[in-house]
């Protein structure tokens, strides 16, 4: 109801604000008997972590996750998995400039409108820091759905765009550079652009692409919970996301049906894959691929004009350690949300037949 | 769970297949005391109806809706609203060509994979005929949320694209032509393209754009159920949709934050609206606008090669009366789903404060 | 949210008022591939039907159910099953005496308080007529969960009480008399009592007992959705129910743990069954048995003093054709709700292990 | 789905096992702006706490709760409230006798059947220790619903039964003795019985009664989520509960309708209250009162025969510090669950009218 839960059979509820005592969540519905590899969780947390490279925010958040329940002798028990990430770097900051004024294109104004007041410290509940809990849950979901693999990468930063489709790229290269673009040359251009933007105290948008392989057939439901509708919901729930497309996406609208239809091979696979691995809302076993558009983040290290709570115009000096471009860190979040969707759909699919 | 329900506080559950005895649904959670104008329901049904113009399918579906409950002496009672649309045009058709083979880029193959068999007649549950129930519920939701208005229109068919943004158009013109494009000249080009495509027995994709005005502030929730995430889920659940973007959308990724941030006026409104009326997942009172990409529909009136259930290659002759381009009829469906999202969010917003 | 849905994986949403155009529901989540025996549905409807014997209401409701979707060539398809029972006996009745005054211990007053007004005809949404939809869904659930069997019977009417526990009775006798009490002698006393009460225009309470056999182990969840909590919820949602107990129930509170604990046999079954087939909220494979207390129905064929909407005292003459005691007809409803709970739990149990 | 969540609008999800690192939960949907009195939370925790008197278990659990989110400057923010109770007393215990064998009438056997294995330490997830999280959430719910008051008390221990109805008792006396029975004389008899039972290493059942006053009219929904059905579900989800009745309850079945019907006063209140404050599932503003039956707890400090995982018979010596009778400590849990139900219903009731 209040929108802090995601999923049906495999369900995550999160809590926590940017500068509260801690963040965490409960994973409910993870089946019993999964051996949990903590290393894989730490790896994904590291991919999302601030300070991991020169082109992301230099905040220090160690993001140590502690598990309190639901795992016994290394295996999930079927009971809810409660976890907590203590906030350790949130001490004596001065937020008075935010407390009294509304930062443009942030959630400051809308929170006040909805709730009457807000925890203004670092964006409170609307901070992208909340996604740390999604990455924890996603890393467990990934282990549950194995051998399904989920691979995200950066395909666009500003105007710098990776033109090749995913199946002409060596996606294993994505983690070899700080931008997480699998094409080294394009990655360099992207990195250069991000550095330039950061120097100006400005920010820039980008696109995260994602590919899901080894998908079982039959995931998703035919009407309101089409697999791609759940994926779209998941992606659009990530901070700063403005758009989602899968398969042929927005470009597909220019095609004719005779060119867009995916002809079958005799084994049920298709010769092309404009469908993006989903037909009628249900996976057909082909690769699922999609794009997620991220706007330039709103936090600038510049001075800007805005209003305070009384509507008076004020000038504010942006400060702190923020991301000039979120997409390199967002890759891990996109993957985590995709893993939650697939894990959920895979469990629900057990209910389809008598 | 099985994905036939949409919404939380204002909830629609639908049933029905393309060629079963009837389709319908239950609206649960519509507050008591709403005077229902049946004319507005009929009007939206007419906008979605086949056979309404020369450029849509010539099937005849009268789409008479009967209400069985929840409305008493012209007003909603707070009890669930059950409604039924009898199928009347589904008689002695021959579906043997579909029963045994899989139409490319339809849900035939995936249904068989998921459920073991399927109601093959006219696409069964995966038919877009299911959306008739959404339009009924949406037309009631529109009345509940008034004076919020929701206006959809066609902004692209194939390569023919309306370049002007919504606020430079006279949207009241959208219903003046069969394409539902508010610019008469572009509408003519679109119509010409659709006629051409139909002549070939082919289909073409398109984009439906939608604008929501007079939105109260505070709708939506900050984390998983951001208002735009719910809108995206809703739109992606419509048949043939491949993408969703709101506000600056995919183009916003090329912008810098300093240009993209929406500066405030002293009354809390913003000078620009790249945010698309939603900040941090919560409405800020500005117009909400978004685009929905529809692929070319898969049903062609051409002969095509495919496989049958045993994986043998077969050649099938497409026939029947199908839409060369769905977007003119989809406008009513997009609006209906948007109305369901807004009605739901508006009710949930009553719970935000003590 | 508005409480017209029951169940999670196997889900029923109902609509319809006593004197509206019709009642019905949607069953969502019934797995594909179940062969539906319509005869079993009709049989249970007949067991709930008014007019079935001399000791129940003489209203005539044929209760013909029409299925609109989700069943194809005799088998469930995995799509939602929509069904409708037209109201045919609701013509030119005069309800003015109810419209303006509040019948004691009915929902008249509380509906007006909650919704501002109400559909007063025959109790509207709060009429037990709504349970016809539960019986339809329950009859399908029974087929899904077979070989699990659910057997209800009347164990008490007023002070006339069946003293023997269920396992000392021949439950197959329950359907041999109109009271549905498996002990012929007690049944006669009950019937005599009901006839006497009816003569006075009065009503009397009773208890329905129910036994579930062949229950798979593992149904139910350990915390909030304990199997017996779901059963209790289900039973307490039936009109006129005032209490629920399972296993040793209220009498168990007087026992010591050493006597109450159920010792194991070597095959995991237990020597006694005070647990009632559920331990820690999860079925252990033993019989589940429980009691449901029904109050005397509030509708009397007597004159009574009450108030009207303005709070003025008025005298009203009760009239019509009502049940002097609901338990004979309630047996089918109790069974139906139990079937919904078991079907749901059985599906959910598929999710427990990796 | 996995049953670790309770409530709709005011929602609690819990996690944690008896002997894991900690227990806790997330309260989602608590409206913004509630000033939280921590003292009231501590007070209810103290009422549930082990070791509080000579007649309850002498385990030491300090039950310090830490809040991590959702409360800012003393007020709820509308964001989820995450909280944690560290387990501190769970060190070097030896559970080998439980690990390999099944304690009768516990959840040991059923957990193994459902999940394939279990966290056997102290009952794991099925331990009543989980209810500590319910008491935390309930204490916040009580503050939200004020001036509604919820007062539980012990009305029966074994055969010792408080014969007076709640409105002839001075309920303020309930907290004056360790049994929590408001009648001092009966309390003494109950205490004596519990001491005797404890001496034998045995246990005894009991009944907790509860009264809710100042209830707004209109809470609850007319069909599946009748207010008393939600209350019953809540109570039956508490460990060791075997039955629930409200208003006239099981005794009401012996009454005639003419005696049972609650006649109106001119202000809408009723002269009697057999309805128990709920009519047609909706509160009418009168006191809500109900009884909850608790079985004798299964843990004995005696030796007993049982089986191990292989089905071999073994003799086990019960040991440790357990409750001879749970009802004194259960009073706080019953109240907490009632508070969750009322808070939820009160929020949902905001949605009833246009």
Neighbours of B, requiring at least 3 CB pairs below 8 Å, are: A, C, D
Residue numbers belonging to the annotated binding site of D for NADP(+): 48
Alpha-carbon distance of C8 to C5, in angstroms, equals 9
**What pLDDT does residue C92 have?**
47
Alpha-carbon distance of D113 to D118, in angstroms, equals 9
User: By the 8 A CB rule, do B205 and B293 touch?
Assistant: yes
**CB-CB neighbors (< 8 A) of D257 in chain C:** 105, 202-204, 296-300
Q: In Å, how far are A118, D11, D83 from D140, measured between CA atoms?
A: 19, 12, 12
- Measure CB to CB from residue B15 to each of C22, C75, C81 and give the nearest one: C81
- Measure CB to CB from residue C243 to each of D9, D244, D297 and give the nearest one: D244
Answer yes or no: do C76 and A354 touch at CB < 8 A: yes
Q: In Å, how far are C3, C19, D1, D352 from C116, measured between CA atoms?
A: 18, 19, 34, 9
**CB-CB neighbors (< 8 A) of B9 in chain D:** 351
**CB-CB neighbors (< 8 A) of A29 in chain C:** 351
Alpha-carbon distance of D143 to D141, in angstroms, equals 5
**What pLDDT does residue B93 have?**
63
Angle at D16 between CA D13 and CA D20, to 5 degrees: 165
**CB-CB neighbors (< 8 A) of C106 in chain D:** 279-280
Listed in order, strand segments (DSSP E) in chain C are 5-6, 11-15, 22-28, 65-67, 71-72, 75-76, 81-86, 101-102, 149-157, 160-161, 206-213, 241-246, 278-279, 282-283, 288-294, 303-308, 313-317
pLDDT at residue C96 greater than cutoff 80? no
pLDDT at residue C265 greater than cutoff 60? yes
Residue of D nearest to A69 (CA): D16
Neighbours of D, requiring at least 3 CB pairs below 8 Å, are: A, B, C
**What pLDDT does residue D91 have?**
54
Calculate how close chain B gets to C105, using CA atoms only, in Å: 20
pLDDT digits (tens, 9 = 90+) for A304-342: 999 999 999 999 988 877 899 999 999 999 999 999 999
Answer yes or no: do C312 and D266 touch at CB < 8 A: yes
pLDDT at residue C90 greater than cutoff 70? no
Q: How confident is the model at residue C51 (pLDDT cuts 50, 70, 90)?
A: confident
- Measure CB to CB from residue B4 to each of A156, A218, A224 and give the nearest one: A224
Residue numbers belonging to the annotated binding site of B for FMN: 125-127, 239-240, 280, 295-299, 321
Residue A42's nearest CA partner among A123, A135, A109 is A135
**What pLDDT does residue A167 have?**
96
Calculate how close chain A gets to B73, using CA atoms only, in Å: 32
Answer yes or no: do C109 and D230 touch at CB < 8 A: no
Alpha-carbon distance of D107 to D97, in angstroms, equals 15
Residues of D with CB under 8 A from a CB of A: 1-2, 4-5, 8-9, 11, 13-17, 20-26, 28-29, 32-33, 66-70, 72, 75, 77-82, 84, 114-119, 124-125
**CB-CB neighbors (< 8 A) of A9 in chain C:** 351
User: By the 8 A CB rule, do C207 and D252 touch?
Assistant: no
**CB-CB neighbors (< 8 A) of C18 in chain B:** none
More confident residue, D106 or B56: D106
- Measure CB to CB from residue C32 to each of A78, A144, A352 and give the nearest one: A352
Class of CATH domain B5-351: alpha beta
Tell me which of A51-65, A196-210, B138-152, B301-315 is least confident. A51-65
**CB-CB neighbors (< 8 A) of B22 in chain C:** 68-69, 82
Residue numbers belonging to the annotated binding site of D for FMN: 125-127, 239-240, 280, 295-299, 321
Calculate how close chain B gets to A300, using CA atoms only, in Å: 7
Answer yes or no: do C31 and A353 touch at CB < 8 A: yes
Residue at token pair 């009991």: D206
Residue A255's nearest CA partner among B103, C215, C225, B159 is B159
Answer yes or no: do A76 and C354 touch at CB < 8 A: yes
Listed in order, strand segments (DSSP E) in A281-339 are 282-283, 288-294, 303-308, 313-317
Residue among B2, B219, B354 with most chain D CBs within 10 A, to mutate: B354
**What pLDDT does residue C46 have?**
96
Q: How confident is the model at residue B92 (pLDDT cuts 50, 70, 90)?
A: very low
- Does the CA dihedral D238-D240-D243-D244 come out positive or negative? negative
Per-domain residue ranges of chain A: 5-351
Calculate how close chain A gets to C170, using CA atoms only, in Å: 32
In whole angstroms, how large is the CA radius of gyration of chain D? 21
Answer yes or no: do A353 and C144 touch at CB < 8 A: no
Answer yes or no: do A282 and B253 touch at CB < 8 A: no
Which residues lie below 8 Å from residue C181, measured CB to CB, with a gap of 6+?
A: C153, C154, C155, C157, C162, C174, C187, C190
Alpha-carbon distance of C197 to B16, in angstroms, equals 46
Query: DSSP 3-state assignment of D307?
Result: strand
**CB-CB neighbors (< 8 A) of A17 in chain D:** 69-70, 72, 77, 79
To the nearest 10°, report the CA torsion of C184, C190, C194, C196: 100
User: By the 8 A CB rule, do A185 and A179 touch?
Assistant: no
Answer yes or no: do C2 and B29 touch at CB < 8 A: yes
Query: What is the reported pTM?
Result: 0.98
Residue of A nearest to C222 (CA): A79
**What pLDDT does residue B216 have?**
98
User: By the 8 A CB rule, do A115 and D33 touch?
Assistant: yes
Calculate how close chain B gets to A159, using CA atoms only, in Å: 5
Q: Phi first, then psi: give them for residue B188, nearest 5 degrees.
A: -65, -45
Helices (H), D200-325: 227-236, 257-260
- Measure CB to CB from residue C279 to each of D107, D243, D248 and give the nearest one: D107
Residue D35: exposure state from Cβ atoms within 10 A (0-12, 13-18, ≥19) = exposed
**What pLDDT does residue D92 have?**
47
Answer yes or no: do B221 and A4 touch at CB < 8 A: yes
Residue among D2, D67, D343 with most chain A CBs within 10 A, to mutate: D2
How large is the average pLDDT for residues C101-106? 95
User: By the 8 A CB rule, do C269 and C189 touch?
Assistant: no
Answer yes or no: do C298 and D4 touch at CB < 8 A: no
In whole angstroms, how large is the CA radius of gyration of chain A? 21
Q: Phi first, then psi: give them for residue C65, nearest 5 degrees.
A: -100, 135
**What pLDDT does residue D58 have?**
81
Q: Which two tokens stand for residue B317?
A: 């002759």
**What pLDDT does residue D318 have?**
85
CB atoms within 10 A of CB C312: 11
How large is the average pLDDT for residues C75-87? 97
Residue D168: exposure state from Cβ atoms within 10 A (0-12, 13-18, ≥19) = exposed
Sheet containing A81-86: give its strands across. Answer: A5-6, A11-15, A22-28, A81-86, A65-67
Residue of A nearest to D24 (CA): A82
Which residues lie below 8 Å from residue B245, measured CB to CB, with a gap of 6+?
A: A242, A243, A244, A245, A250, A293, B290, B291
Alpha-carbon distance of A345 to D177, in angstroms, equals 53
User: By the 8 A CB rule, do B343 and B145 touch?
Assistant: yes
**What pLDDT does residue B94 have?**
62
**What pLDDT does residue C320 have?**
75
**What pLDDT does residue D11 have?**
98
**CB-CB neighbors (< 8 A) of A354 in chain C:** 31-34, 76, 144
Find out whether C261 is annotated in a ligand binding site.
no
Q: What parts of chain D have a pLDDT lower than 50?
A: 92
User: By the 8 A CB rule, do B122 and B129 touch?
Assistant: yes
Mean pLDDT of chain A: 95
pLDDT digits (tens, 9 = 90+) for C154-194: 999 999 999 999 999 999 999 999 999 999 999 999 999 99
Percent of chain C with pLDDT strictly greater than 90: 89
Residue C219's nearest CA partner among C208, C228, C209, C232 is C228
Alpha-carbon distance of C277 to D242, in angstroms, equals 12
Mean pLDDT of chain C: 95
**CB-CB neighbors (< 8 A) of A283 in chain B:** 110
CB atoms within 10 A of CB D74: 10
* Helices and strands in chain C: count of H runs, count of E runs: 8, 17
CB atoms within 10 A of CB A236: 28
Answer yes or no: do C78 and B8 touch at CB < 8 A: no
Size of interface C-D (CB pairs under 8 A): 370
**CB-CB neighbors (< 8 A) of B353 in chain D:** 31-33, 78
**What pLDDT does residue B81 have?**
98
A323: Cα separation from own chain's centroid: 15
pLDDT at residue B233 greater than cutoff 80? yes
Percent of chain B with pLDDT strictly greater than 70: 98
Please write down the HEC assignment for all residues of chain B: CCCCEECCCCEEEEECCCCCCEEEEEEECCCECCECCHHHHHHHHHHHCCCCCCCCCCCCCCCCEEECCCEECCEECCCCEEEEEECCCCCCCCCHHHHCEECCCCCHHHHHHHHCCCCCHHHHHHCHHHHHHHHHHHHHHHHHHCCCEEEEEEEEECCEECCCCHHHCCHHHHHHCCCCCCCHHHHHHHHHHHHHHHHCCCCECEEEEEEEECCCCCCCCCCCCCHHHHHHHHHHCCCCEEEEEECCHHHHHHCEHHHHCCCECCCCCECCCCCCCEECCEECCCCEEEEEEECCCCCCCCEEEEEECCCCEEEEECCCCCCCCCHHHHHHHHHHHHHHHHHHHHHHHHHCEC
């Amino acid at each position: 109801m209040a929108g802090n839960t995601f999923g049906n059979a495999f369900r995550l509820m999160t809590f926590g604000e940017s500068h509260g005592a801690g963040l965490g969540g409960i994973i409910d519905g993870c089946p019993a008997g999964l051996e949990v590899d903590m290393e894989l969780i730490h790896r994904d947390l590291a991919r999302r972590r601030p300070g991991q490279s020169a082109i992301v925010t230099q905040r220090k958040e160690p993001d140590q996750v502690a598990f309190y329940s639901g795992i016994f002798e290394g295996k999930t028990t079927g009971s809810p998995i409660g976890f907590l990430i203590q906030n350790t770097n949130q001490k004596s900051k001065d937020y008075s400039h935010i407390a009294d004024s509304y930062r443009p294109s942030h959630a400051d104004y809308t929170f006040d409108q909805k709730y009457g007041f807000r925890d203004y410290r670092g964006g409170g509940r609307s901070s992208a820091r909340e996604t740390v809990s999604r990455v924890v849950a996603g890393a467990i979901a990934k282990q549950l759905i194995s051998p399904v693999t989920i691979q995200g990468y950066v395909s666009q930063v500003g105007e710098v765009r990776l033109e090749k489709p995913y199946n002409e790229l060596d996606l294993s290269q994505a983690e070899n550079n700080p931008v997480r673009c699998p094409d080294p040359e394009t990655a360099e251009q992207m990195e250069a652009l991000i550095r330039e933007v950061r120097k100006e105290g400005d920010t820039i948008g980008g696109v995260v692409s994602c590919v899901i392989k080894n998908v079982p057939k039959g995931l998703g439901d035919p009407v309101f919970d089409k697999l791609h509708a759940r994926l779209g919901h998941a992606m659009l729930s990530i901070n700063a996301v403005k758009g989602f497309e899968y398969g042929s996406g927005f470009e597909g609208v220019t095609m004719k049906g005779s060119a867009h239809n995916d002809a079958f091979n005799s084994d049920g696979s298709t010769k092309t894959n404009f469908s993006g691995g989903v037909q009628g809302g249900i996976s057909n076993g082909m690769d699922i691929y999609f794009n997620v558009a991220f706007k330039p983040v709103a936090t600038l290290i510049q001075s800007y004009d805005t209003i305070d709570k009384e509507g008076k115009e004020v000038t504010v000096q942006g400060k702190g350690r923020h991301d000039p471009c979120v997409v390199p860190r967002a890759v891990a979040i996109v993957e985590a949300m995709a893993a939650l969707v697939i894990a959920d759909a895979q469990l629900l699919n057990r209910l389809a037949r008598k």
